[in-house]
Chains A and B, each alone.
Chain A
């Protein structure tokens, strides 16, 4: 039983039971630690820290890759706030993330509850998680075909229902919801399994007690499952937000940002600026702003997770 509670508690704080913060360890231990941490530290320094510095530096320059960067001060940032395409890209990205998170969380909860309360066959769970194993690009192409306005199967179905063909990727208002839902299809099984594992951790005597009290399945979901699932839900939210950057792959192989700027999500816009228009400086400024916004979001999420942690323990 001890293992169960240990596993069920996600921890992000660095105070482990094996650690004595007052001590800095023996010389031998320090040397080992240094050796152990060295590769990761190198990776961090070269591929996270260094590029972050460079990215910030480039954001103050005009840089086309072929000529040396020219320092332009705050010009890029000034241009950015007047750039309607940037504003639109942020909006579109938020729309994508909102649709993706909501649909994915709700659907995954539903699937997880079904897996938990109806059947626990590994076979069913295997099927549910299958899309996650297929690359984004594959999924994007598959749905690009199935949702084709002319001969895609989805529109054949709609046709039988008497609905005129819908250009899922071609319609300015539908492109982003379509892309968001396509990615939901790929990720929902994975999310459902995370939630399912969280539900399994809930001691079943809690449900037993609920049943004795005459609570319905519906009530038990809202009163027992959901509150006890909060920490896992918080984690799922983090994973989804990080995962939302995969939107690039789908956009790149389907709409390439179009029609107009309807699906030009911020990641694609940055790519566009850097590699199609050779504005590395401006592209860097856009990513700095994105970084700042995401850091703020991450802070809020971290708070949420901490709150969840105390809830369960």
Chain B
């Protein structure tokens, strides 16, 4: 099957191989202690999510009466109603809101669109470039590669100011293009990541295709790319999460409502809650909604994602 090529690189497979060996410590007080630590760490990871849900279902105006109750205070869907703009201003203000709302469907669509475009561009163009760097011979290759390497060290803020001005001069502010373009054609990480993998593919594999008369184009699409489906999935997941979380750049170039992404929308919602008296339950309802799409995706693909992320470090 197609997955066999990726399997040896999968941490899961490596785990299976080493699992039988009894590499684990013996039972004893140390092991109990270790479990206690692990449970504490999981609790510290999960509790904030629990608290987010608890607050989102609380009545914002009553939160301060029972700040420590584990269950929602005066349970209500009011926070979701006002985040989604279903509540009137008066109703929202009665529960500690400001009348501000998030056009959730719209922002979600924008976020998905932008993240998918960025991921697709980065993976496809990254794979092309990585292949050229890893498997093709052409003059100036090492120089160009070194240049790209330096791009990895450039702090984002350094290029973002001039890039913002570029978008402004091109009249692209408040368009999808402005959010996507700087990330679309290349991101150093994607190129290094895939190049590393391509370098590792035995030369004989491609040589066989070459002897059959396949040119570099056919070799890339017919032989190399299918072999790389594992790392490509990994990369896609990582870049998608990254694109989804992006805040600063879309904030600069696309704060207008029709192109606003979820992170920016959330930042603006936070800015809209009464200054000294934040609408905590509204904010938590908003964060919950913003986090939900990725968390749902995660629930379905957790095994794949967890193994992918592990793999990304040992490229």
Residues of A whose CB lies within 8 Å of any CB of B are 3-4, 6-8, 10-12, 14, 16-21, 23-25, 28-30, 32-37, 39-44, 46-52, 54-55, 58, 65, 110-111, 114, 117-120, 122-138, 141-146, 148, 150-153, 156, 185, 189-190, 193-198, 200-201, 203-205, 207-208, 217, 232, 235-236, 242, 245, 248-249, 252-253, 267, 270-271, 274-275, 280, 283-284, 287-288, 290-291, 294-295, 298
- In the bound complex, residues from chain A placing their C-beta under 8 Å from that of B198 are 16
Chain A residues with CB under 8 Å of B133's CB are 14, 37
Question: Is A18 a contact of B135 with CB atoms below 8 Å?
Answer: yes
Pairwise interchain contact B215-A3, C-beta atoms closer than 8 A: no
- Distance of A190 Cα from B141 Cα, bound (Å): 33
Residues of chain B contacted by A267 (CB below 8 angstroms)? 155, 157
B199: A residues at CB distance < 8 A? 11, 16-18
Task: A201 to B132: give the CA distance in the assembly, Å.
Answer: 29
Main secondary structure of the interface of A (DSSP, over half): helix
| A295 CB contact (under 8 Å) in B153, B201, B284 | B153
Distance of A79 Cα from B305 Cα, bound (Å): 48
Residue contact B128 to A39, C-beta cutoff 8 Å: yes
Q: Which residues of B contact A46 (CB under 8 A)?
A: 166, 185
> Do B163 and A133 have beta carbons less than 8 Å apart?
no
B103-140 residues with Cβ-Cβ distance < 8 A to A are: 125-126, 128-129, 131-139
Complex-state Cα separation, A141 to B283, whole angstroms: 8
CA distance A117 to B294 in the complex (A): 30
Q: Mark B229-244, 1 if CB is under 8 A from A, else 0.
A: 0000000000001001
User: Are A52 and B158 in contact, with the CB atoms below 8 A?
Assistant: yes
Inter-chain CA distance A16–B197, complex, in Å, is: 11
Q: State how many angstroms separate the Cβ of A309 from the closest Cβ of chain B.
A: 12
Q: State whether the Cβ of B266 lies closer than 8 Å to any Cβ in chain A.
A: yes
Asked if A189 and B266 sit within 8 Å, CB to CB, the answer is no
Q: A197-B310, A253-B267, A291-B154 are in contact. Are A52 and B159 (CB under 8 A)?
A: yes
Smallest CB gap from B19: residue in A: A120
What residues of A have a CB within 8 angstroms of the CB of B11 in the complex?
196-197, 200
- Are A44 and B142 in contact (CB-based, < 8 A)? no
In the complex, are the beta carbons of B158 and A135 less than 8 A apart? no
Q: Which of B15, B34, B200 contacts A117 (CB 8 A)?
A: B34
A4 partner residues in chain B, CB cutoff 8 A: 14
The answer to the question of B211 belonging to the interface, with a C-beta cut-off of 8 Å to chain A, is no
Considering the complex, give the chain A residue whose CB is closest to the CB of B138.
A33
A24 — which chain B residues lie within 8 A by C-beta?
A: 137-139
Closest Cβ of chain B to A249, distance in Å, is 5
Tell me if B18 is interfacial: C-beta within 8 Å of chain A: yes
A36 CB contact (under 8 Å) in B136, B150, B165, B262: B136
Tell me whether A145 and B154 are in contact (CB under 8 A).
Answer: no
Question: B23, B42, B199: which has the most chain A beta carbons within 10 Å?
Answer: B23
CB distance from B220 to the nearest CB of A (A): 8
Interface hits, B184-229 → A, CB 8 Å:
184-186, 191-192, 196, 198-201, 203, 206, 215-217, 220
- Tell whether, in the assembled complex, residue B153 and residue A135 are in contact, meaning their CB atoms are under 8 Å apart: no
- Contact across chains for A200 and B182 when beta carbons are under 8 A apart: no
Cα distance, A129 to B142, chains bound together (Å): 36
Tell me whether B80 is interfacial, beta carbon within 8 Å.
no
| Distance of B18 from chain A, by nearest CB (Å) | 5
Q: A153 touching B67 by the CB < 8 A rule?
A: yes
Q: A39-B185, A197-B11, A197-B310 are in contact. Are A252 and B247 (CB under 8 A)?
A: yes
Q: Is the CB of B247 within 8 A of A137?
A: yes
B158 in contact with A291 (CB, 8 Å):
yes
List, in ascending order, chain A residues with CB within 8 A of B82's CB: none
Say whether A283 contacts B132, CB under 8 Å: no
The answer to whether the Cβ of B181 comes within 8 Å of any Cβ in the partner chain is: yes
CB pair B314–A197 under 8 Å, yes or no, is yes
B1 contact set on A, CB distance < 8 A? none
